């Protein structure tokens, strides 16, 4: 009994007060009320809302339901939460109940307080909801109709009894059901309506108490509409009476209606059943027939459109095509604009066009050789025969043949009749010509005419220059003009009696004919039309002769030409050179002759055949120094420059040296020795390639240094002139840094750093006595000197920054330091990849062990150190170590590792084989998750896979970018064993995700909309049309500004944060100040311009004198500018 009392008290307290568990147990929660909206306070009621039917749910941020509870009788709820973070609380009641809001987001912080997110005050602790009403459900039916009838689209409204104002509205679903929500207790009227259906009873009264209401009466549809159409034309668009008859009694009309001017008709209030629709003309005409006679229909529910239309049949239209002389023209194509109907005329020239409708049309006739004008006719069933159609002209055609194509020199032909030229045409590329649409001759003689070829400058002579003919009523073909031909011949005189045949070309522009010399070295060209020609002689042997004239010009008029002579004068040598040069050429023991070559092809003539020696004289290095040329073989001898010759000098100051070596660093590194060139200088020569950048560094034995230390020389990519010499080096004695290390220590590295050019260093080693000497170097150089040896602490007695050539010696003190060796194995072999962390007072170091089992920490000072090995797949014994090191002490620490987990290896590649870096690969074995990120080479390694567990391996997408991700395969399912998993490779495909901004502009004054990024960068602009709609496509996420531009130039901006495709309502507000400013600037400029023009016109004579006054600058007399307005004189014009 006592226990029952305790429970009752707890329940009472929870209903009346917020209940939370003690914070010591880590339990927090959210509480609140579900209450009836204040708008229901006036609703008469005898019953309270059943709050126990309402459930409140708690969900995680990912949508997983964590807990749920029912409301207490007073609407209170409490949800315990044991976790921190963001959650969603949602309210759910019986179907038809409505709440506001449906859900709310809350945050549980470290203090355990439940706070709403994004709803103003963050101090509110109660999360409340409002109940905002019940629902009414009902049904619209169609008695006698098919159960599958579509009953959607009926408008259902609700209003309070005795009131006209609508409180709710909806439309029916396909099955006729409807629902109106958010209603409180009261008396109401439900009313149904439709644009074309009729109802038996449209209104139903109802009363709502404290629950949903399902209407026990249905709203019944009494009739539907039936619509159809008659296809008519302009000549037969008179109204038509349509009759609707029961299929069971087709003799009596059930409904009648009239078609409109477009042929549309409608029957209303037709109940479900079988019917017949039949049309009839109010005014009958024997020329028309209606098809079909009737159309059966079945009204099953909903608006019915007749399955087919009524049609009006047409009539036949006839005609003939004949010449003006009455001769039929058969196989002519006749086309009429009615439906693009086309027919051919028969052997009598007649044609017939079927299924015509009354109206105006255009008739066109076509046939090869004839020309017709289009004819406009009126087709009427009362007079279905057209007048004869006759041609307006005929074609006269033929061909003109010449030896050459007429494409480059088209001939003109003229058609003449009665002494007058009536037409001109040109010959096409095939030599054909036509006079089109020539007017036919009249009965009975026809029309006399002639065709004549234009003279064409006398270049072509025809056998017949003119053809006479008679034009009647038919086309004329096969008129022909042909060309007459002449003869050209000549002789070739050679230096030797070779049997070689030569080729002679006859050229006229782009037209070329060729022939070959015969046994007596003669050539011939027959059938040559008059004109201007060039004759050119060619040799096909390897040996190329030289001619007095290789090309001879001739003019062919009316006689043959037979006195052409080509005279050989020697043998040609052809040389192609990449650069200008000189060549000495000689035959046998003859004295050499010299010729200058330019860049490109060079030719010169020698008087004897044979093998000539060609010696190149140049400042360029050619592929060879000597070439040969055999005139019997001929051809073009190629002379190519391989390299450029670069020459330079070294000047000495003081004593000389035995040798100077110059290191040439370029495309290929090489050494060059400089040779003495007089008493005080040395000379060096090297070769370089075009575009090569070389660094020249001189060196010598002993204490010499060079100024400058090196020269960088850039060779031009291509040069036809000799290279300029690089700057001259100067050789001088050098200076040294000397000193010692104490106590004497051998093998210490001495490093001398140039403070002006720190990348330049000189090094040396101490000898057995600890002494060093580093150099040579430039005098007065500012340098820093360091000393290093592994395991030693070496520091200078004084700051080792000095000047070269200083008189004092440098001294360093050396002390040996401690050393720690760390040896890590698995008992047998080294463990690669272990991270060793060593720390001590003022010391931190982390290092990875690679393939060796031992790692050494050098140069450690006396200290207490802490050592810890780290590798995810291993445990170590010991797990860490404490080491104390003394000065110069050497210790070794041994660690043994045991493998407890393994890794998954793989690669990420794109479709085209490129490495994919920066993506996360996840291995999941719930609840165990391991991840890795691919490196620059696309490799990944997921560590920490536990043996015996099954994992799912997949690539995670990047939610922070506008790209989507697909992989092949989508995932791997693997079992972790006592070994690493390898070759888990993915092919990754990334593709962009783009978004759109669409919108509607309010108002009528916006001219265009600009899209601007948040940084002010213009993206795109859209002009606003009548629909006021705009769209920007293919955008990435981010912040944008939509800028509405007024027709006067004023602007209004609205910010848009784009996370996905968005539709925006843009309602620009242009202030009066913006509009006045834009307008006033334009108006002010116009006023200033008008005033300026008035001033100029009024003072034209004085302005005209200004240029004369400006020629001689003089002081203006007092009052000189008195003609200007005073405000301009005083410079007081105000501008905005």
| Residue 643 to residue 155: CA distance in whole angstroms | 95
- Predicted confidence at residue 210, as pLDDT, reads 85
pLDDT at 68 over 50: yes
Average pLDDT, the chain: 81
C-alpha pair distances (Å), 449 with each of 396, 422, 431, 528? 11, 9, 22, 32
963-968 β-sheet, strand order? 939-945, 902-910, 986-992, 963-968
- Predicted pLDDT of residue 1093: 62
DSSP 983-999: ---EEEEEEE--EEEEE
Q: Are residues 40 and 139 in the same domain?
A: no
**414 or 588: which leads in pLDDT:** 414
845 band by pLDDT with thresholds 50, 70 and 90: confident
CA–CA dist 131, 150 (Å, integer):
34
* pLDDT value, residue 882: 82
pLDDT greater at residue 300 or residue 63: 300
Of 211-225, 845-859, 910-924, 1094-1108, least confident by mean pLDDT is: 1094-1108
Res. 1105: pLDDT tops 80: no
pLDDT exceeds 70 at position 396:
yes
- Domain assignment of residue 1107, yes or no: no
Report the pLDDT averaged over residues 982-1010.
88
Rounded to two decimals, the pTM is 0.34
pLDDT tens sequence across 427-444: 888 889 999 988 888 877
Specify the pLDDT at position 285. 40
Angle of helix 1072-1098 versus helix 1100-1111 axis, rounded to 10: 80
> What tokens were used for 545?
């002769």
**Residue 870 and residue 835 in contact, taking contact as beta carbons nearer than 8 Å:** yes
Lowest mean pLDDT among 57-61, 535-539, 938-942, 1130-1134: 1130-1134
- Does residue 297 form part of some domain? no
Report pLDDT for 403: 65
Residues 567 and 588 in one domain: yes
Q: What is the mean pLDDT of residues 942-970?
A: 84
Q: H or E stretch including 8?
A: helix 2-16
Structure tokens at 753: 């750093």
Question: Is there a single domain that holds both residue 440 and residue 506?
Answer: no
Do 708 and 584 belong together in one domain? no
The pLDDT-based confidence of 46 (bands split at 50, 70, 90) is very low
Output the CA angle 465-470-475, nearest 5 degrees: 95
Indicate if 74 and 154 belong to the same structural domain: no
Structure tokens that stand for 38 in this block: 């204040």
* Ramachandran area for residue 391 (φ above 0: left; ψ -120 to 50: alpha; else beta): beta
Q: CA-CA distances (angstroms) from residue 772 to 85, 446, 746, 790, 794?
A: 70, 127, 10, 18, 15
Which residues does residue 58 pair with via DSSP β-bridges, in sequence order? Answer: 67, 89
> What was the pLDDT predicted at 826?
86
- 1070, 1094 contact by CB (below 8 A): no
Judgement on whether residues 809 and 880 belong to the same structural domain of the protein = no
In terms of C-beta density within 10 A (0-12 exposed, 13-18 middle, 19 or more buried), how is residue 162 classed?
A: exposed
Return contacts of 413-418, CB within 8 angstroms, 24+ apart.
Answer: 413/451, 413/452, 413/453, 413/454, 413/481, 414/451, 414/452, 414/454, 415/449, 415/450, 415/451, 416/449, 416/450, 416/451, 416/452, 417/447, 417/448, 417/449, 417/450, 417/471, 418/448
| CATH code assigned at 366 | 2.60.40.1120
Same domain for 538 and 479: no
Cα 233 from chain centre:
52
The model's confidence at residue 840, banded by pLDDT at 50, 70 and 90, is confident
Chosen domain end from 157, 191, 221: 221
The pLDDT of 591-608, averaged and rounded, is 90
| 3-state SS string for 762-797 | EEEECCCCCEEEEEEECCCCEEEEEEECCCEEEEEC
91-100, 489-498, 680-689, range with the lowest pLDDT: 489-498
Closest CA to 484 of 450, 415, 530, 439: 530
- Residue of 325 and 504 predicted with greater confidence: 504
| pLDDT at residue 1079, as a whole number | 47
Give residues with Cβ within 8 angstroms of 71, minimum separation 6.
Answer: 34, 51, 52, 54, 55, 56, 77
Instruction: Give the pairing type, strands 177-183 and 129-141.
Output: antiparallel
For residue 274, being part of any structural domain is answered with no
Residue 238's pLDDT band, with cuts at 50, 70 and 90, is low
Burial of residue 345 (number of CB atoms within 10 Å: 0-12, 13-18, 19+): buried
Q: Is residue 1122 scored above 60 in pLDDT?
A: no
- Mean pLDDT lowest for which of 468-472, 569-573, 810-814, 1088-1092? 1088-1092
Residue 780: what pLDDT?
A: 73
Least confident span in 3-17, 541-555, 930-944, 1026-1040: 3-17
Lowest mean pLDDT among 250-264, 407-421, 663-677, 967-981: 407-421
Q: Residue 435 has what pLDDT?
A: 92
State the Cα–Cα distance between residues 649 and 476, nearest whole angstrom: 93
Q: Over range 68-75, report the average pLDDT.
A: 74
| 289 — pLDDT class (breaks 50, 70, 90) | low
Half-sphere exposure at residue 497, Cβ-oriented, CA atoms within 13 angstroms: 0
Give the per-residue pLDDT at 969.
93
- Which tokens sit at 948? 């015996």
Q: Which of 127, 145, 162 marks a domain boundary?
A: 127
Percent of the chain with pLDDT over 90: 24
- Give SS3 for 1111: helix
Last residue of a domain, which of 455, 484, 513? 484
Q: Give the contacts of 273 (CB within 8 A, at least 6 positions apart).
A: 144, 246, 247, 298, 299
Q: Is the pLDDT of residue 23 over 70?
A: no
User: What is the residue whose two structure tokens read 């008695």?
Assistant: 143
Residues forming beta bridges with residue 765, ordered by sequence position: 749
> 246-253 long-range contacts, Cβ below 8 Å, gap at least 24?
246/273, 246/274, 246/275, 246/276, 247/273, 247/274, 247/275, 247/276, 247/296, 248/274, 250/276, 250/294
pLDDT for position 1058? 82
Higher pLDDT, 268 or 27: 268
| CATH number of domain containing 834 | 2.60.40.10
Where residue 1123 falls among pLDDT bands split at 50, 70, 90? very low
Q: What is the pLDDT of residue 408?
A: 53
Burial of 919 (0-12, 13-18, 19+ CB in 10 A): buried
The answer to whether residue 283 is domain-embedded is no
666-698 per-position pLDDT tens digit: 888 999 999 888 788 999 999 999 899 999 999
Least confident of 14-28, 120-134, 442-456, 620-634: 14-28
* 493 plus 601 within the same structural domain: yes
Determine, yes or no, domain membership for 781. yes
Asked whether the predicted pLDDT for residue 963 surpasses 80, the reply is no
Please tell me the total count of domains within the chain.
10
Instruction: Specify whether 462 is located in the same domain as 440.
Output: yes
Same domain (yes/no): 779, 914: no
Q: Is there a domain that residue 241 lies in?
A: no
Residue 17 — pLDDT band, cuts 50, 70, 90? very low
Are 530 and 632 members of one domain?
yes
End-to-end CA distance of the chain: give it in Å, rounded. 94
Together in a domain, 424 and 564: no
Give residue 431's region: left, alpha or beta (phi > 0; psi -120 to 50).
left
291 vs 562, residue with greater confidence: 562
Q: Is residue 771 part of a domain?
A: yes
> Reading across the β-sheet that carries 203-208, which strands appear in turn?
166-171, 155-160, 186-193, 203-208
Place of tokens 């101090």: 123
Give the dihedral of Cα atoms 281, 286, 292, 297; nearest 10 deg: 20
Whether the per-residue pLDDT at 60 is higher than 80: the answer is no
Q: Which residue, chain included where needed, has tokens 């002389």?
A: 325
Asked whether residue 936 is assigned to any structural domain, the reply reads yes
Range(s) of the domain holding residue 655: 643-730
864-868 contacts at long range (C-beta below 8 A, 24 or more positions apart): 864/840, 865/820, 865/838, 865/839, 865/840, 866/838, 866/839, 866/840, 867/820, 867/822, 867/836, 867/837, 867/838, 867/893, 868/836, 868/837
Cα(769)–Cα(306) distance, integer angstroms: 121
Omega within 30 of 0 (cis) for the link into 101: yes
More reliable by pLDDT, 381 or 262:
262
The domain that holds 675 is classified in CATH as: 2.60.40
pLDDT score recorded for residue 964: 77
Q: Which residue is associated with the tokens 């008189």?
A: 807
pLDDT of residue 457: 53
What tens digit of pLDDT does each residue of 868-885 get?
777 778 888 987 788 888
**pLDDT for 284:** 41
Could you tell me the pLDDT band of residue 1110, with boundaries at 50, 70 and 90? Answer: very low
Residues 1109, 1097: Cα–Cα separation, whole Å:
20
Instruction: Report the candidate in 698, 766, 758, 770 with the shortest Cα–Cα distance to residue 734.
Output: 698
| Least trusted range by pLDDT, from 12-26, 71-85, 1099-1113 | 12-26
């Amino acid at each position: 009994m006592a226990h029952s009392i305790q429970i009752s008290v707890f329940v009472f307290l929870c209903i009346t007060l917020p209940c939370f568990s003690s914070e010591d147990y880590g339990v927090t929660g959210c509480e609140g009320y579900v209450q009836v909206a204040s708008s229901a306070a006036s609703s008469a009621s005898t019953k309270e809302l059943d709050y126990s039917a309402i459930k409140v749910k708690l969900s995680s941020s990912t949508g997983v339901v964590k807990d749920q509870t029912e409301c207490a009788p007073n609407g209170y709820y409490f949800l315990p939460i044991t976790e921190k973070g963001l959650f969603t609380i949602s309210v759910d009641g019986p179907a038809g109940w409505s709440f506001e809001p449906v859900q709310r987001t809350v945050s549980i912080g470290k203090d355990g307080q439940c706070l709403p997110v994004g709803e103003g005050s963050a101090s509110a602790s109660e999360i409340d909801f409002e109940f905002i009403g019940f629902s009414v459900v009902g049904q619209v039916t169609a008695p006698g109709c098919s159960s599958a009838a579509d009953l959607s689209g009926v408008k259902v409204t609700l209003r309070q009894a005795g009131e006209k104002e609508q409180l709710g509205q909806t439309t029916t679903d396909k099955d006729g059901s409807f629902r109106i929500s958010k209603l409180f207790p009261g008396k109401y009227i439900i009313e149904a309506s439709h644009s074309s259906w009729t109802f038996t009873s449209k209104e139903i009264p109802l009363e709502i108490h404290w629950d949903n209401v399902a209407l026990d009466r249905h709203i019944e549809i009494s009739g539907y509409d039936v619509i159809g159409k008659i296809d008519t034309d302009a000549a037969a668009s008179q109204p038509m009476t349509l009759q609707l008859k029961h299929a069971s009694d087709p003799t009596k009309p059930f409904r009648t209606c009239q078609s409109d001017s477009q042929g549309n008709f409608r029957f209303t209030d037709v109940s479900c059943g079988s019917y017949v629709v039949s049309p009839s003309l109010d005014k009958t005409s024997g020329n028309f027939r209606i098809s079909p006679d009737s159309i059966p229909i079945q009204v099953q529910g909903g608006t019915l459109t007749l399955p087919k239309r009524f049609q009006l049949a047409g009539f036949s239209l006839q005609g003939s095509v004949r010449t003006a002389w009455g001769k039929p023209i058969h196989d002519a194509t006749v086309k009429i604009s009615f439906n693009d109907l086309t027919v051919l005329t028969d052997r009598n020239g007649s044609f017939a066009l079927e299924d015509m409708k009354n109206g105006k049309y255009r008739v066109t006739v076509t046939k090869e050789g004839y020309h017709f004008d289009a004819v406009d006719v009126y087709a009427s069933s009362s007079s279905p025969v057209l007048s004869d159609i006759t041609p307006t002209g005929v074609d006269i055609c033929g061909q003109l043949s010449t030896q050459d194509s007429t494409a480059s020199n088209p001939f003109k032909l003229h058609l003449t009749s009665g002494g007058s030229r009536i037409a001109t045409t040109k010959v096409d590329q095939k030599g054909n010509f036509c006079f089109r649409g020539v007017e036919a001759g009249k009965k009975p003689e026809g029309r006399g005419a002639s065709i004549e070829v234009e003279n064409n400058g006398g270049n072509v002579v025809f056998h017949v220059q003119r053809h006479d003919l008679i034009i009647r009523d038919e086309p004329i073909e096969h008129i022909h003009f042909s060309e007459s031909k002449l003869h050209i011949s000549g002789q070739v005189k050679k230096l030797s009696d070779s049997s070689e045949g030569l080729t002679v070309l006859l050229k006229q522009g782009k037209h070329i004919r060729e022939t070959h010399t015969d046994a007596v070295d003669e050539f011939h060209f027959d059938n040559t039309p008059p004109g201007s020609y060039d004759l050119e002689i060619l040799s096909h042997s390897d040996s190329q002769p030289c001619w007095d004239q290789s090309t001879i010009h001739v003019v062919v008029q009316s006689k043959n030409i037979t006195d052409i002579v080509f005279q050989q004068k020697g043998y040609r040598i052809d040389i192609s050179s990449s650069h200008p040069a000189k060549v000495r050429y000689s035959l046998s023991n003859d004295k050499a002759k010299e010729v200058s070559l330019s860049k490109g092809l060079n030719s010169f003539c020698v008087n004897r055949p044979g093998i000539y020696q060609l010696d190149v004289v140049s400042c360029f290095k050619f592929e060879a120094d000597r070439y040969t040329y055999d005139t019997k073989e001929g051809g073009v001898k190629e002379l190519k420059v391989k390299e450029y010759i670069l020459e330079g000098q070294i000047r000495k100051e003081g004593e000389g040296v035995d040798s100077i070596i110059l290191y040439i660093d370029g495309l290929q590194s090489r050494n060059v020795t400089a040779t003495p060139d007089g008493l005080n200088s040395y000379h060096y020569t090297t070769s370089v390639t075009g575009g090569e950048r070389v660094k020249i560094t001189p060196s010598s034995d002993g204490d010499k240094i060079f100024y400058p230390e090196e020269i960088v020389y850039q060779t031009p990519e291509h040069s036809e002139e000799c290279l300029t010499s690089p700057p001259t080096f100067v050789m001088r004695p050098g200076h040294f840094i000397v000193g010692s290390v104490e106590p004497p220590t051998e093998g210490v590295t001495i490093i001398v750093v140039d403070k002006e050019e720190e990348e330049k260093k000189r090094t040396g080693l101490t000898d057995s006595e600890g002494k060093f000497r580093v150099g040579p170097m430039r005098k007065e150089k500012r340098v820093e000197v360091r000393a290093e040896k592994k395991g030693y602490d070496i520091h200078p007695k004084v700051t080792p920054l000095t000047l070269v050539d200083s008189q004092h010696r440098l001294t360093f003190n050396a002390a040996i330091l401690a050393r720690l060796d760390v040896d890590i194995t698995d008992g047998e072999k080294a463990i690669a990849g272990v991270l060793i962390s060593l720390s001590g007072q003022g010391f931190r170091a982390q290092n990875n062990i690679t393939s060796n089992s031992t790692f050494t920490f050098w140069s450690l000072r006396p200290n207490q150190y802490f050592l810890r090995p780290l590798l995810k797949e291993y445990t170590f014994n010991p797990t860490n170590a404490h080491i104390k090191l003394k000065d110069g002490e050497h210790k070794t620490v041994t660690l043994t590792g045991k493998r407890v987990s393994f890794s998954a290896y793989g690669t990420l590649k794109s479709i085209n084989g490129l490495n994919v870096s920066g993506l996360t690969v996840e291995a999941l074995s719930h609840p165990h998750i391991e991840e890795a990120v691919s490196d620059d080479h696309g490799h990944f390694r997921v560590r920490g896979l536990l043996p015996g567990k099954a994992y799912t391996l997949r690539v995670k997408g990047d939610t922070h970018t506008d790209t989507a991700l697909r992989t092949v395969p989508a995932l791997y399912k693997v079992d972790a064993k006592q070994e690493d998993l390898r070759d888990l490779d993915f092919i990754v495909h990334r593709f962009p995700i783009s978004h759109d901004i669409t919108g509607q502009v309010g108002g009528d004054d916006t001219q265009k909309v600009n899209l601007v990024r948040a940084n002010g960068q213009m993206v795109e602009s859209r002009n606003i049309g009548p629909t006021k709609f705009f769209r920007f496509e293919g955008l990435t996420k981010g912040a944008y500004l939509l800028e509405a531009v007024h027709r006067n130039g004023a602007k209004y901006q609205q910010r848009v944060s784009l996370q996905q495709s968005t539709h925006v309502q843009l309602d620009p507000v242009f202030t009066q100040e913006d509009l006045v400013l834009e307008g006033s600037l334009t108006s002010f400029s116009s006023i200033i311009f008008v005033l300026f023009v008035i001033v100029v016109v009024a003072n034209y004579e004085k302005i005209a004198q200004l240029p004369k006054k400006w020629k001689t600058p003089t002081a203006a007399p007092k009052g000189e500018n008195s003609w200007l307005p005073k405000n301009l004189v005083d410079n007081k014009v105000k501008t905005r």
